[in-house]
């Protein structure tokens, strides 16, 4: 009997160990997360910050056991060189060789657009964290692609809405526009003028300047605008034109005299150009950490990021960090790491991020996140200027209406 | 519109005109003496800007780096110009004008790609010394303090060229060649050598102008395409080969552009083209050129 009892005891123990072992093996199944960013090329500066934040988020989550407390995140980081063809090649390799379940990609919208159909074909989640072309989610939508950064339309509208709010606040009466003479410049300018007219009807548009694309000499425009003494100038200049304009206007003390809202200046530029950036410039950005230090998640992130990397996080770091945590909450809602179920759970999901409680729009998987406009000012708390008098333009105020998205999709199919 | 605003706009026109003069002076000189319409002139101007950036980067930390990089850019561009003349331009002197245009256009494209391969596609920015980062006020009118140097450099180039052409032996030869290359050749003066040095001097001016342009904004690919058109307008208005004509043409283009922007911004460039077309119809040799050229 004793032998039987002993045998039964061992069988029970071995059976328990076997099943426990099975469960243990399941708990150890890692979550393969791909990170395909432009680590070289034009996107290198922003992407490096993003990778750091993604690593930090993964470490934090893994310290608590990983996704669902048991699926440790394993990162697979690749360089897309900010080139669509390289991006496609690397993401395919990540999918086929490293068996990733999701990929965070890219700095460049062109790369994200190229990767989108690949992710859809292989049923892998695709999170666009920096690239913000509206067309990533507007046209030919993929149920696997999510965008956690305010898109190009939201940013353009936010700039105009914030300008209108400031115009009301400061009692501005007259303004001038300056836009590069091509499709984007003209259409952005027209959209801004329309919004300003609707929101501040008594605002007068004094003059419109349209220097040609690639203009190198802005002096006559600068002094011409200063002579007209508008309350503010709304600019739709991008890239090289914007740099040339800013550099030349700065030497005339333009920004000390005339408000110039709407230029994209992220925390990266605030840090790198701390000495030369004109103060009192009204600018726009995507995810400045100092706008949400009242949110515990942001305060903790800044603290941990500074402790680990000995610097303040840029917008791009915030966005990378949020991308991982949005995915985490999608997994938690799905209660599984199965991509199909996570994809479904993220649709319309409200997530708690460093920027607050935000919701993915059902129609396009675009996170309804804010854009930020403020005045560049020195702050003794930081070794670089930050935004003051921040106007946070919520996603709901700046999103493209759903009817227009449906129309655009219909037109794209024709 | 108060008088200060008008004066400010005048100063803007003056600086714009000076920059155009620095670019167009070499173009006009080369056409005047050698009868070559050098479409690659602005590409060499752009290369001068990039050279300036490189020299400034090498010497960064030295107080003279900023100022020295400008003439060095001119010398580096001149070296490229000298090679270009000896290897390529020499072979097309007797070609038709349209062939010269096509060949120099090809050279412009080659230079643009060389710039891309050498310096990459990202913007280059030269940081100005602290003393020239703020505006100065002249009778209440603001002016970028660097433009005082630009205007002085333009004046120095104009006076220097005038002195060279009027008071030096080589200047007299160059002036004579503008009127009749054959006569100069018949006097035993080696025209090919004169051509080489005039071309090199013209490209030095282009590179020097590029060096002057570099700290005004960022240096970017494609900057040359816009300025070459305006430089051609300047020499058409002033007269090919005429130094005074180039100076006056530059100031006309600069001031017309500047004041039109104030009152009719859409028409600023159009008006310049209208003036250029009118000059071509009424006085094809330009305001200060001469129809007697052989």
Model confidence over B182-237: pLDDT tens digits? 888 888 888 888 889 999 999 999 999 999 999 998 888 888 888 889 999 999 99
CB nearest B262 (choices: A227, A251, A276)? A227
Write down the mean pLDDT value for chain A.
89
Q: What percent of chain A has pLDDT over 70?
A: 92
Q: In which region does residue A26 sit, left (phi positive, over 0), alpha (psi from -120 to 50) or beta (all else)?
A: alpha
Which residues of A are less than 8 Å from B262 in CB distance? 224, 227-228
B23-B161-B94 Cα angle (round to 5): 70
Beta-carbon contacts of residue B122 (< 8 Å; ≥ 6 apart): A42
- At which residue do the structure tokens 């071995």 appear? A14
Is A5 a residue whose pLDDT tops 70? no
Distance from CA of A202 to the nearest CA of B (A): 23
Q: Which of A179, A219, A241 to probe the B interface (max B CBs under 10 A)?
A: A219
* pLDDT band at residue A12 under the 50/70/90 scheme: low
Note the pTM of the prediction, 2 decimals. Answer: 0.70
- ipTM computed for the complex: 0.81
Lowest mean per-residue pLDDT among A139-148, A186-195, A228-237: A186-195
Nearest residue to B81 via CA among B193, B206, B175:
B206
Instruction: Read off the pLDDT band of A24 (50, 70, 90).
Output: very low
Q: How many Å lie between the alpha carbon of A269 and the closest alpha carbon of chain B?
A: 14
List Cβ neighbours of A232 (8 Å cut-off, separation of 6 or more): A163, A166, A167, A172, A175, A176, A258, A259, A260, A261, A282
DSSP A394: -
- Which tens digit of pLDDT belongs to each residue from A103-122? 999 888 889 999 999 999 99
Counting every residue, how long is chain A?
A: 414
The residues pairing with A282 across neighbouring beta strands, listed in sequence order, are A375
In chain B, the DSSP E strands lie at 135-138, 141-144
Mean pLDDT of all residues in A317-333:
98
Contacts of B19 in chain A (CB under 8 A): 217
Q: Is the pLDDT of residue A13 over 60?
A: no
Q: What is the mean pLDDT of residues B116-132?
A: 83
What are phi and psi for residue A188, nearest 5 degrees? Answer: -65, -40
Q: Is the pLDDT of residue A1 over 60?
A: no
Residues 6+ apart with CB under 8 A from B191: B177, B181, B184, B185
* Span A270-281, pLDDT tens digits: 988 787 788 888
* Residue appearing with tokens 């949020």: A322
Specify the pLDDT at position B13: 94
CB pair distance less than 8 Å for B127 and A276: yes
Tell me the mean pLDDT in the region B140-153. Answer: 92
Name every residue whose Cβ is closer than 8 Å to that of residue A204 and which is 6 or more positions away in sequence.
A173, A174, A175
Rounded Cα gap, residues A385 and A368, in angstroms: 27
User: Residues of A with CB below 8 A from B258's CB?
Assistant: 219-220, 223-224
CB distance B213–A216 less than 8 Å?
yes
More confident residue, B147 or B181: B147
Place of tokens 């989610």: A137
Note the pLDDT of residue A22.
47
- B134-145 average pLDDT score: 89
List the structure tokens of B211: 């060096």
Q: Give whole-number Cα distances, B131 to A273, B18, B40, B66, in Å.
A: 18, 22, 35, 12
pLDDT of residue A145: 98
Give B251's contacts (C-beta < 8 A, 6+ positions apart).
Answer: B13, B14, B17, B21
Per-residue confidence (pLDDT) for residue A15, from 0 to 100: 55
How many other C-beta atoms are found inside a 10 Å radius of the C-beta of residue B226?
18
Residues of chain B with Cβ-Cβ distance to A42 below 8 Å are 121-122
The answer, yes or no, to whether residue A204 has pLDDT greater than 90, is: yes
Task: Report the residue of chain B nearest A41, measured CA to CA.
Answer: B122
Q: Where are the beta strands (DSSP E) in A38-107?
A: 73-79, 102-104
Answer for the pair A130, A36: CB distance below 8 angstroms, yes or no: no
Partners of residue B143 on adjacent β-strands: B136
The pair of structure tokens assigned to B271 is: 């008006």
A17 pLDDT tier (thresholds 50, 70, 90):
very low
Distance from first CA to last CA of chain A, Å, rounded? 82
pLDDT tens, B56-109? 999 987 878 999 999 999 999 999 999 999 999 988 887 888 888 899 999 999
Which of B9, B15, B218 minimises the CB distance to A227? B9
What are the DSSP calls for B215-262, one per residue? TTS-B-TTHHHHHHHHHHHHHHHH-TT-HHHHHHHHHHHHHHHHHHHH
Region of residue A239 (phi > 0: left; psi between -120 and 50: alpha; otherwise: beta): left
B8 and A226 Cβ atoms separated by less than 8 Å: yes
Contact A220/B16, CB-based, under 8 Å? yes
> With an 8 Å Cβ cutoff, are B142 and A215 in contact?
no
Of A209, A240, A248, the CB nearest to B220: A240
Instruction: Identify whether A138 is preceded by a cis peptide bond (ω within 30 of 0).
Output: no
Whether A252 sits inside 8 A of B133 (CB atoms) is: no
Q: Can you tell me whether residue B89 is helix, strand or coil? A: helix
Residues of B at the A interface, defined by Cβ within 8 angstroms: 1, 5-6, 8-9, 11-13, 15-16, 19, 121-123, 125, 127-128, 132-135, 142-147, 213, 216-218, 220, 222-223, 225-227, 257-258, 261-262, 265-266, 268-269
User: Band of the pLDDT at A351, cuts 50, 70, 90?
Assistant: very high
pLDDT higher than 80, residue A147? yes
Residue A98 has pLDDT above 90, yes or no: yes
Q: Alpha carbon A9 to chain centroid distance?
A: 58
Size of interface A-B (CB pairs under 8 A): 102
Q: Which of A177-191, A294-308, A361-375, B11-25 has the lowest mean pLDDT?
A: A177-191
Distance of alpha carbon A142 from alpha carbon A127, whole angstroms: 11
Query: Could you read off the pLDDT of A26-55 as tens digits, one per residue?
Result: 457 999 999 999 887 667 778 889 999 999
> Which residues have CB under 8 Å from B112's CB, separation 6+?
B43, B46, B221, B222, B224
Taking alpha carbons only, the member of A33, A119, A123 closest to residue A78 is: A33
A326: CB partners within 8 A, 6+ apart: A127, A146, A148, A346, A349, A351, A353, A360, A367
- 3-state DSSP assignment of residue A347: coil
Q: Which residues of A touch B218 (CB under 8 A)?
A: 240, 243-244, 247
Residue B167: Cβ-neighbour burial (10 angstroms; 0-12, 13-18, 19+): exposed
Q: Is the pLDDT of residue A21 over 60?
A: no
Residue B120 is predicted with a pLDDT of 78
pLDDT tens-digit series, residues B277-293: 999 999 998 999 877 54
């Amino acid at each position: 009997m004793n032998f039987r009892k002993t045998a039964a005891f061992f069988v029970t123990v071995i059976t328990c160990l076997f099943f426990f072992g099975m469960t243990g093996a399941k708990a150890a199944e890692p979550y393969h997360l791909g990170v395909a960013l432009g680590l070289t090329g034009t996107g290198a500066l922003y992407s490096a910050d993003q990778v750091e934040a993604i690593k930090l988020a993964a470490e934090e989550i893994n310290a608590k056991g990983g996704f669902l407390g048991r699926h440790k995140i394993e990162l697979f980081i690749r360089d897309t060189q900010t080139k669509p063809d390289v991006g496609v090649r690397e993401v395919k390799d990540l999918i086929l060789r490293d068996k990733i379940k999701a990929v965070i990609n890219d700095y460049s919208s062109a790369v994200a657009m190229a990767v989108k159909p690949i992710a859809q074909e292989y049923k892998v989640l695709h999170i666009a964290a920096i690239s913000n072309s509206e067309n990533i989610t507007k046209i030919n939508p993929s149920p696997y692609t999510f965008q956690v950064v305010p898109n190009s339309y939201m940013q353009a509208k936010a700039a105009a809405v914030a300008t209108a709010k400031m115009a009301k606040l400061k009692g501005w009466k007259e303004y001038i526009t300056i836009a590069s003479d091509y499709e984007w410049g003209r259409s952005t300018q027209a959209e801004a003028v329309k919004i300003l007219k609707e929101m501040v009807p008594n605002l007068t548009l004094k003059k419109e300047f349209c220097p040609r694309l690639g203009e190198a000499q802005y002096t006559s425009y600068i002094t011409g605008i200063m002579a007209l003494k508008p309350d503010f100038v709304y600019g739709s200049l991008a890239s090289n034109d914007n740099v040339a304009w800013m550099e030349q206007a700065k030497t005339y003390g333009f920004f000390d005299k005339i408000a110039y809202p709407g230029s994209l200046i992220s925390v990266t530029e605030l840090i790198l150009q701390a000495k030369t950036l004109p103060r009192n410039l009204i600018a726009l950005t995507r995810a400045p950490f100092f706008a949400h230090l009242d949110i515990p998640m942001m305060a903790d992130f800044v603290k941990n990021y500074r402790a680990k990397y000995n610097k303040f996080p840029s917008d791009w770091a915030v966005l990378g960090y949020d991308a991982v945590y949005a995915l985490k909450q999608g997994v938690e809602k799905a209660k599984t790491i199965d991509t199909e179920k996570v994809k479904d759970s993220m649709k319309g999901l409200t997530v708690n991020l460093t920027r607050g409680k935000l919701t993915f729009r059902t129609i396009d998987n675009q996170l309804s996140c804010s854009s930020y406009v403020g005045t560049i000012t020195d702050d003794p708390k930081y070794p670089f200027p930050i935004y003051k008098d921040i106007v946070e333009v919520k996603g709901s105020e700046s999103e493209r209406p759903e009817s227009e998205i449906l129309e655009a999709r219909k037109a794209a199919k024709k | 519109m108060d008088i200060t605003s008008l004066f400010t706009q005048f100063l803007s026109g003056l600086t714009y005109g000076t920059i155009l003069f620095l670019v167009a002076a070499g173009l006009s000189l080369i056409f005047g003496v050698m009868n070559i319409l050098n479409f690659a002139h602005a590409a060499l101007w752009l290369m001068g800007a990039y050279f300036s950036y490189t020299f400034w980067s090498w010497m960064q930390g030295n107080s003279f780096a900023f100022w020295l990089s400008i003439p060095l850019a001119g010398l580096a561009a001149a070296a490229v110009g000298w090679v270009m003349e000896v290897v390529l331009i020499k072979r097309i002197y007797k070609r038709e004008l349209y062939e010269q245009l096509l060949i120099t256009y090809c050279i412009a494209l080659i230079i643009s790609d060389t710039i891309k391969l050498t310096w990459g596609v990202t913007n280059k920015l030269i940081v100005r010394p602290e003393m020239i980062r703020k505006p100065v006020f002249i009778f209440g009118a603001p002016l970028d303090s660097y433009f005082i140097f630009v205007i002085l450099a333009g004046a120095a180039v104009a006076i220097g060229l005038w002195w060279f052409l009027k008071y030096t032996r080589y200047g007299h030869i160059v002036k004579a060649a503008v009127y009749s290359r054959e006569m100069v050749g018949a006097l035993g003066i080696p025209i090919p050598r004169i051509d080489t040095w005039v071309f090199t001097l013209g490209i030095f001016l282009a590179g020097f102008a590029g060096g002057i342009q570099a700290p005004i904004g960022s240096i970017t690919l494609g900057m040359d395409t816009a300025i070459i058109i305006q430089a051609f307008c300047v020499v058409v208005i002033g007269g090919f080969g005429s130094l005074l004509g180039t100076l006056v043409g530059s100031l006309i283009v600069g001031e017309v552009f500047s004041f039109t922007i104030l009152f009719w911004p859409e028409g600023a460039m159009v008006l310049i083209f209208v003036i250029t077309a009118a000059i071509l119809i009424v006085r094809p040799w330009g305001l200060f050129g001469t129809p007697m050229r052989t």
